Structure 1
Amino acid sequence: MANVEKIYIFENPEQEIGLIGAQDVNLNLLEEGMQVKAATFGDQLKISGAEEAVQQTYDIVAQLTGLIQKGIKIHAADIVSAIKMSERGTLEYFSDLYTETLGRNARGNAIRVKNYGQRRYVQSIRHNDVTFGIGPAGTGKTYLAVVMAVAALKRGDVDRIIISRPAVEAGESLGFLPGDLKDKVDPYLRPIYDALHNIFGKEHTERLMDRGTIEIAPLAYMRGRTLDNAFVILDEAQNTTPQQMKMFLTRLGFGSRLIINGDISQIDLPTKTKSGLIQAQAVLNNVPHIEFVQFDSADVVRHPVVGAIVTAYERYDAAQEAAKQQRIREHKQENN
């Protein structure tokens, strides 16, 4: 297919600077994600490449500059989200994602959903007592759950935030780490701490933890408790056993919300142990006030390479499973 060129004209320097980003980081992402060439000349952006890709890139630029015109600062994640929505044919709804601010981080920057998968997840949290977020790393499950928990705390909807995860090893040995069980599992909760520090700041987070307003603990610490007026998040839920999952779900008290996040492609349980998250999907699928939100590689909002990595592994796993089923069929035919 012959290459074509299309020119986008910026209305003002602010649009151009905001779109390109520091050291052309946004422009480079756009080129890589859309497989086009893009270069600025004065108030013009020249886009060249395959005709369909050039038109899609032009439309993405128009959407992004529209946000800049409204005073919204564009980041790399916004570029990735626009590319993903263009691939899905939903780019016309891109600006709708920026009509609502979920909160602000410690630097005062607005926190918003980045795609419709995240919007569906946030809406589920608002309208259900229990929400399961299931999908690969990089889809924003943990961060958004913490954002929603903080928002509920600030509104006075809940009195505390409780965040937990199962103490399952992911290739390393907990036994050689110093301290009690909480001390041992704390390094595995780093994504939770990072999210809290991003929203509250490190010092404020530590003060809230000292007061007991925020509690971060291994799943084993949940046994025997009833969690009233709390926003409760279980991370890495794919590593729960069925018994642990049932135990956690039945901690739900009045005025509380439960969020259960996990990635069933990254189960670290012993081979013969069934995942409580997988069982919960089968058992609770039609229970009122419980919703399952599925994410996939298209919802990944990290660097585009992360999405490509997730997709590559999904294809590999599918090919392995297909080959396994083929061997089973051949073995049955030989025995017949």
Structure 2
Amino acid sequence: MALASGLTQVLDDRRYTEIIMTRATVSVGEDIGFLPGTEEEKMGPWMGALDDNLEFLAKGDGGNAGEWGRAATNELIRSRIKVKSMNFMRGRTFMNKYVIIDEAQNLTPKQMKTLITRAGPGTKIICMGNLAQIDTPYLTEGSSGLTYAVDRFKGWPHGGHITLARGERSRLADFASEIL
């Protein structure tokens, strides 16, 4: 939903110049070690959700352009989405950007502050996460940067917080979330 909204606001409304995506690089299991390549290539394995969502959104397109049209559309979309590592955010200022911070439940309050304070004029920041899915060993629901940001921005007229009543993946995912 955040990606679809961002794409609309970047490509159709031209409210923002591009989408910046980042996330906490916390593994669910064992760390796989060194990853070769550029910053974007290193972030690739962490951005599977981006690929999944782009694939889902592309299938929803009822256009008649065929495979070449979908490829051209995907290329245009990808050119407006930049994947950035949190490790290189200090000192940056994002102007007129739509910033998505994914897996924000795995951030510390300090990391969250560092990312949110990168926002320059005309920038919107979306923090997404599920406090039931914290993978950072020393964080809890109460100490997560996501909780910290929600609490600190309460009452600020330019901020908002949405808690989804149910998951959007599938009945299986919802059931597993409840019983496991």
How high is the TM-score relative to the length of structure 2? Answer: 0.79
The structure that has the greater radius of gyration is 1
Q: Which residue of 1 aligns with 2:163?
A: 294
Q: Which residue of 2 aligns with 1:167?
A: 25
Is contact 2:108-2:139 (8 Å) kept? no
Higher helix share: 1
Q: Which residue of 2 aligns with 1:232?
A: 99
Matched, 1:196 2:54: yes
Cα distance change of structure 1 residues 255 and 181 upon mapping to structure 2, 3 Å threshold: closer
Higher strand share: 1
C-alpha RMSD over aligned residues: 2.3
Look up the equivalent residue of 1:205 and give its one-letter code.
Answer: N
Is contact 2:106-2:139 (8 Å) kept? no
279, 302, 306: which is aligned to 2:173? 306
Is contact 2:20-2:100 (8 Å) kept? yes
Alpha-carbon distance between aligned partners in 1 of 2:74 and 2:90, rounded to the nearest angstrom: 25
Look up the equivalent residue of 1:312 and give its one-letter code.
Answer: I
Bigger RCO of structures 1 and 2 (CA < 8 A, at least 6 apart): 2
Q: Structure 1 residue 208: deviation in Å?
A: 4.9
Alpha-carbon distance between aligned partners in 2 of 1:280 and 1:208, rounded to the nearest angstrom: 29
Alpha-carbon distance between aligned partners in 2 of 1:277 and 1:152, rounded to the nearest angstrom: 24
Q: Structure 1 residue 233: deviation in Å?
A: 0.6
Match runs of 1:140-155 below 5 Å: 144-153=1-10, 154-155=12-13
SS of the residue aligned with 1:148? helix
Alpha-carbon distance between aligned partners in 1 of 2:144 and 2:39, rounded to the nearest angstrom: 22
Alpha-carbon distance between aligned partners in 2 of 1:195 and 1:228, rounded to the nearest angstrom: 25
Q: Structure 1 residue 308: deviation in Å?
A: 1.6
Alignment gaps of 5+ in structure 2: 59-69
Matched, 1:283 2:156: no
Match runs of 1:1-336 below 5 Å: 144-153=1-10, 154-179=12-37, 182-199=40-57, 201=70, 204-209=73-78, 211=79, 213-271=80-138, 274-296=143-165, 299-313=166-180
Structure 1's consecutive aligned runs of 4 or more residues displaced over 3 angstroms after TM superposition are: 176-182, 197-209
Is contact 1:164-1:217 (8 Å) kept? yes
Is contact 1:230-1:257 (8 Å) kept? yes
- Cα shift readout 1:72-106 (whole Å, capped 9, x = no counterpart): xxxxxxxxxxxxxxxxxxxxxxxxxxxxxxxxxxx
Alpha-carbon distance between aligned partners in 2 of 1:148 and 1:221, rounded to the nearest angstrom: 26
